[in-house]
Amino acid sequence: MPSPQITLKHKFSGDTLRDARRKESTATKSYSNDLSNDDNTDDIDAIINDLASEVDPLEFELEENEAKKTTVRVVPEEHLQTSVHTGLSSAEVKERQKRYGFNRMKEEKENLFLKFLMFFVGPIQFVMEAAAILAAGLQDWVDFGVICGLLLLNACVGFVQEYQAGSIVDELKKTLALKAVVLRDGQLTEIEAPQVVPGDILQLEEGTIVPADGRIVTEAFLQVDQSSITGESLAVEKRQNDSMYASSSIKRGSAFMVITATGDNTFVGQAAALVSQASAGTGHFTEVLNGIGAVLLSLVVFTLLVIWVASFYRSTPIVHILEFTLAITIVGVPVGLPAVVTTTMAVGAAYLAKKKAIVQKLSAIESLAGVEILCSDKTGTLTKNKLSLAEPYTVEGVEDTDLMVTACLAASRKALDAIDKAFLKSLKHYPKAKALLSSYKLLEFFPFDPVSKKVTAIVESPEGERIICVKGAPLFVLKLVEDEVPEHIIAAYQEKVEEFASRGFRSLGVARKRGDNPWEILGIMPCSDPPRHDTARTIQEAKALGLSIKMLTGDAVGIAKETSRQLGLGTNIYDADRLGLGGGAGGDMSGSEVYDFVEGADGFAEVFPQHKYDVVEILQQRGYLVAMTGDGVNDAPSLKKADTGIAVEGSSDAARAAADIVFLAPGLSAIIDALKTSRQIFHRMYAYVVYRIALSIHLEIFLGLWIVILNESLSLNLVVFIAIFADIATLAIAYDNAPYSKSPVKWNLPKLWGISVLLGMVLAIGTWITLTTMLKSGHTTGDIGGIVQNYGNRDEVLFLQIALTENWLIFITRANGPFWSSMPSWQLSGAVLVVDIIASLFAVFGWFATEHAPTNIVTVVRVWVLSFGIFCVMGGVYYLLQGSVRFDNLMHGRSRKQRSMEDFLISMQRVSKQHESKC
């Protein structure tokens, strides 16, 4: 059947297949003229220099497997049997538009105002809002303004961060075509891409951006750029009955395809749906903060219930009860927690930006600190993303120069593909071949034939001899010449082909025929995408930091194993189809076996997007924090699903939008800086959270007892300043000299709560001693009795003691060992000192006290001495508990023996599964 492009009347001008072939023939003649030019040596030099300066990505072919493709066909087969001569009729188009809708992805507009309001929702926010209402009811406008200011600050910071991330679905939509040429009512018609319907016959030409998924229905040979989907830039070969995907572009050739899926049902549409699905859950760090806030809120409610019961029993005036309630509400939750952690992570993000790692979502820093497994793409991340030629194999009696000259003659310099580029670049290592190349004259050139798997060129040597040069798949080249080549040479050649294949190389066979002489097989040129020079070192550093790396690649198992072996990743690499993930039919395991298998593997080959998504999900369900690297549209769902999504250098817009962190430097080396920095930031946040929980416990216990026993409390204004000072001083922790852990770090919440509660109790005891000392003489003021004598104003003394001991606590929680083992930064030390001086001035001048009365300097000094004694006790308690395995086991409710046995059984199970998989 003739091609429709020849038999149909064109409404719009376009190149036919015959036109395309004519252009190719013209290009061949031009190439011949170039080669025959006397100055062609200079041209070759220019080409080589240009190629050497390029950072061209490896353009390995994406091998498609129709059984694995993820596009779900929702269109009945009868709707795809459209005539390639007439296309759809206008009536059919209207009916299908009603049935399938327009070729656009579903848009869900987000209400930005409602999104902003959601930042006022959460346990901590609820308590702050309740405190603001109470302050307004008591007409305490200073406290009301401070609380509302903190609420707005936290909400604005969070909203700006989320808004800057942008819409991932919008980025995916940008990759789609704007126009399309379809065959309708017997004529080619240009339409808007959203008007394409299933069953449409679409014309494909050079430069066409495919608007929807489809299948080629005419005889053709296309080279298709799928880099917007896969991140791989090698033009993929497509022939009749092969699938096409929306957002791909045609680099060479022309054909017709039938549309099989539009809008949300396309590959890109499903990627957007998976991204939305992955975005549905709350972040890990948000869950941790909400959990801490919920527990503190429960403690506040319990304390208030006790105070209310005691107050009603005493018939305390309602105004005083509300004042007590406001005081406990303000001190009971860390009102500055969101602001402090946001500042800490923002400072870390600024530092990482200098290291060419752009953080798009601040909470990803906390997640990255705990990441245990990194699922990494191979091409361009672990490898150079460049085709490189290895040491060639030449048959007996053949020189490397002959092989290189023949291979380079069988190449088109006008439309260079990755292989041609690699050969021409390699000429600088073969100067003799480079010099000889320009002396040959090209007579005929035959581009790559997808059937015979070879490229052929007929040239004339300087001596006038006619030579046929062939380059292509090794076994196809061997089949061409095997009748004229001795058997021992064939056997050695075949053995070398198998050896290169086992080592993960992609090989090209080279042969020639001189005049009427027999065919000569010259040898094999192995080519590969070599590992980056820094990848092996990066992987070793990552392992030293406790990070396990699993390689997920679309390449064949052999190539993946060889690359993994070179990088020291381990060779437990398996075909992803064996797991039956993503709807694959090849799985031979089910249930927990699949989970064990994924956990124990070093990586998977021949993976498709759904495989990546499912591998990440399985590891997360096993309790791991998982990072994922990617660069294409197909990686967007798994990047969003991962706890930390990392878009590598050169990623598509959709991948960058879906990622939490974007690397601007090539390769994986930036991950080391990111890991170390994130763990330093985690250490700072962990120290602050322990510190801030202890402060809340401290004041709840002390104020609760004071109110219940003595029916009194601290001045509300001083309570608010205590809360503000606690967070102002520790804002500088973002710049502290924090160490980084040699292993992934997580929120050990049981231990964190245990330490925080005990530190809070020590603080409460110290403050209670201070109060009872002043009450010993039985007067509110006086000059005798107790540790603190001639104390002056009671509220100011308590305010100073609380401020000093609480501010100094951060020096204890920030250290891994004794507080003197690690020196704090000058920023943190300076901030604490300034706040301590201000607190001392409050006491000296009696600011904001219920009864304005100054405190003498002697009493201020004694409070400083007493506070230092309490600080030393807290330091001893923290040091003993922080390194105690027994305390850790106690807080987890199990013995050390039980935990050791659990770890042993889990390890044995993983080893067993790895052994079974090898067998």
- Name 20's Cβ contacts closer than 8 Å, sequence gap at least 6: 206, 253, 254
Q: Which helix (H) or strand (E) holds 223?
A: strand 221-225
- Single out the residue of 821, 801, 819 nearest to residue 874, CA to CA: 819
Q: What is residue 895's three-state secondary structure?
A: coil
Beta strand pairing call for 506-514 and 661-663: unpaired
**Which residue matches tokens 């260079």?**
416
3-state secondary structure 787-851: CCCCCCCHHHHHHHHHHHHHHHHHHHHCCCCCCCCCCCCHHHHHHHHHHHHHHHHHHHHCCCCCC
Cα angle: 204, vertex 210, 213; to 5 degrees = 110
CA 752, CA 687: separation in Å to the nearest integer? 10
| 70: phi then psi, degrees, rounded to nearest 5 | -100, -5
Catalytic residue check, 736: no
Both structure tokens of 617: 């999900």
- Name 630's Cβ contacts closer than 8 Å, sequence gap at least 6: 231, 377, 612, 636, 638, 639, 645, 646, 647, 648, 651, 655, 659
CB contact burial 813-825 (16+ within 10 A = b; e otherwise): bbbeeebeeeebb
Strand partners, 552: 604
Q: 34: buried, middle or exposed (CB in 10 Å: 19+, 13-18, 0-12)?
A: middle
Cα–Cα separations (whole angstroms), residue 457 to 253, 409, 463, 466: 20, 7, 17, 11
Torsion of CA 51, 55, 57, 58, to 10 degrees: 50
Helical H segments across 711-748, by residue range: 716-730
Strand partners, 257: 202, 216
Helical H segments across 77-190, by residue range: 90-100, 112-117, 123-137, 141-165, 168-174
- Name 724's Cβ contacts closer than 8 Å, sequence gap at least 6: 146, 336
Catalytic residue among 213, 225, 242, 377: 377
Both structure tokens of 213: 């998924």
- The catalytic residue positions are 377
